[in-house]
Amino acid sequence: MKNLSKALALGAACAAGSVCAQSSVTLYGTADAGVLSISNTAMGAPGYIPAPGASGRKTMYKDGGIGASNWGLRGREDLGGGYRANFQFQGNINTSSGGAGGPNSSSGQSLFNQVAMVGFSGPFGEIKLGRQIAPMIFAMAHTDVRGVRYFGSALTGLVGMNSASGAFIGNNSNAAFGAVYNDNAIVYTSPAWNNFTLHLGYAAGEPGGFSKTNSQQTAALLYANGGLRLSAFYYNGYGNNLPAASALYGAKLGSPAAGSAAAADAGFSPTANTNRLASVGALYKWDTFTLSGAYYRARNPARAVMPGGAASVSMVALGAGWQMQPNINLTAGYYRIKDHTNDGHNASQWAASVDYSLSKRTTLYAQAASTRNQGANMNLSPVYATPVGAGRNVNAWMVGLRHTF
């Protein structure tokens, strides 16, 4: 408490203009793009809503092969006594058009659609306030050899699980199961203790405020010691599927009011517990080899489900990697999704990549994937933000260049 009092006093003095602590601001970003070839891209349905319509093979320019192109600002001020004030703003950049920003949780567009937060850190850990990456994503990346890359990874598997719900359009960051980003979030990250790190998050469902309405809760526990990593997370949310269900029913009935009424009749509401996702995972690295595995289970406890959608889905993720040379890394992953609501509906995906580092900041990559979808609500895609036809097999490859600054 003594150090904290000193830090707060120093911060107040700086604000008054009498003394200022050391501070820094950094501009950073990533440009990632290449050529993608993919079969059976979706036609005839909004976003990720499963539909059998599909085009033939397309070869196209693609922004984001390993991960999103983005830019951001982050800064910190040393307040003394081990305490710091922090901030970060980060948003997407589309290299194909130069457009900036992307969807937020309310289906609008935000310049800093990935992160917009202010935080305070010290010996106790860190507290961050604002729009942030959900802590469950840290756990997913921690125990998947392929991380959460945009091509054949735990992230594309997560999108496939959400698509299976039948209520994930993808025009906002409130997913049916879990979430990549949270608005109005308060996230606490603990200091490392016996190789464990804990992340706790609460997202207020504005304008409902600090109530159950549209709120999200998440906890993630990570372990790292030598070559061993372990992860576990739990995510819970209310009202996630209501906007998508209302829009889908409205399009079918020809009236937004009728759509809202139909969604309510089906059990969708701002307080319906439609979003629950949990996972455990492990990764082990020895010498130049790495193996990983994780299990995910998604549920819709309220069982408010679109016709043909899934209220319970699971995914098994397996991966392997080989650091062939210091600048050449090979990874492969297998992801299998099972629908526990609709018998016989499942999807599986194989993906592999070779990354060649030209420098610490620049990487050439080539990747390929094969996906099998079985069932009217199965449209697992090997490529993030590239929906495919439901019940159709998909093959894709991509070559690209990634540079960070």
Over range 136-156, report the average pLDDT.
Answer: 97
Q: Which residue has the higher pLDDT, 48 or 15?
A: 48
Over range 295-315, report the average pLDDT.
Answer: 97
Q: Evaluate whether residue 10 is within a structural domain.
A: no
Q: Is the pLDDT of residue 12 over 70?
A: no
Q: Is the pLDDT of residue 397 over 60?
A: yes
* Most confident of the following: 21-25, 93-97, 281-285: 281-285
Q: Is the pLDDT of residue 64 over 50?
A: yes
Q: What is the pLDDT of residue 336?
A: 98
Task: Measure the CA–CA gap between 106 and 131, rounded to whole angstroms.
Answer: 12
Q: Write out pLDDT tens, residues 66-96.
A: 999 999 999 999 999 999 999 999 999 999 9
If one counts the domains in the chain, the total is 1
Q: Evaluate whether residue 47 is within a structural domain.
A: yes
Q: Evaluate whether residue 342 is within a structural domain.
A: yes
CATH number, domain of 54, equals 2.40.160.10
pLDDT > 70 in the chain, percent: 95
3-state secondary structure the chain: CHHHHHHHHHHHHHHHCCCCCCEEEEEEEEEEEEEEEECCEECCCCCCCCCCCECCCEEEEEECCCCCCEEEEEEEEEEECCEEEEEEEEEEECCCCCCECEECCCCCEECCCCEEEEEEEECCEEEEEEEEECHHHHHHHHCCCCCCCCECCHHHHHHHHHHHCCCCCCCCCCCCCCCCEEEEEEEEECCCECCEEEEEEEECCCCCCCCCCCCEEEEEEEEEECCEEEEEEEEEECCCCHHHHHHHHHHHHCCHHHHHHHHHHCCCCCCCCCEEEEEEEEEEEECCEEEEEEEEEEECCCCCCCCCCCCEEEEEEEEEEEEEECCEEEEEEEEEEEECCCCCCEEEEEEEEEEEECCCCEEEEEEEEEEEEECCCCCCCCECCCCECCCCCEEEEEEEEEEEC
Q: Is the pLDDT of residue 223 over 60?
A: yes
Sign of CA dihedral 41, 42, 47, 51: negative
Q: What is the pLDDT of residue 21?
A: 58
Q: Evaluate whether residue 12 is within a structural domain.
A: no
Q: Evaluate whether residue 18 is within a structural domain.
A: no
Q: Is the pLDDT of residue 284 over 80?
A: yes
Q: Evaluate whether residue 43 is within a structural domain.
A: yes
R_g (Cα) of the chain, nearest Å: 22
Query: Any idea which of 6-20, 119-133, 159-173, 275-289 has the lowest mean pLDDT?
Result: 6-20
- Nearest residue to 223 via CA among 290, 293, 139, 154: 139
Q: What is the pLDDT of residue 206?
A: 78
Q: Is the pLDDT of residue 3 over 60?
A: no
Q: Whole-prediction pTM value?
A: 0.91
Question: In terms of residue numbers, what domain contains 272?
Answer: 25-404
- pLDDT averaged over the chain? 93
* The two three-digit tokens of residue 346, written as one number: 């499942």
Q: Evaluate whether residue 16 is within a structural domain.
A: no
Q: Is the pLDDT of residue 19 over 70?
A: no
Q: Is the pLDDT of residue 6 over 50?
A: no
Q: Is the pLDDT of residue 218 over 90?
A: yes
Q: Evaluate whether residue 20 is within a structural domain.
A: no
Q: Is the pLDDT of residue 106 over 50?
A: yes
Q: Which residue has the higher pLDDT, 206 or 285?
A: 285
* The two three-digit tokens of residue 372, written as one number: 């099998």
Over range 256-272, report the average pLDDT.
Answer: 96
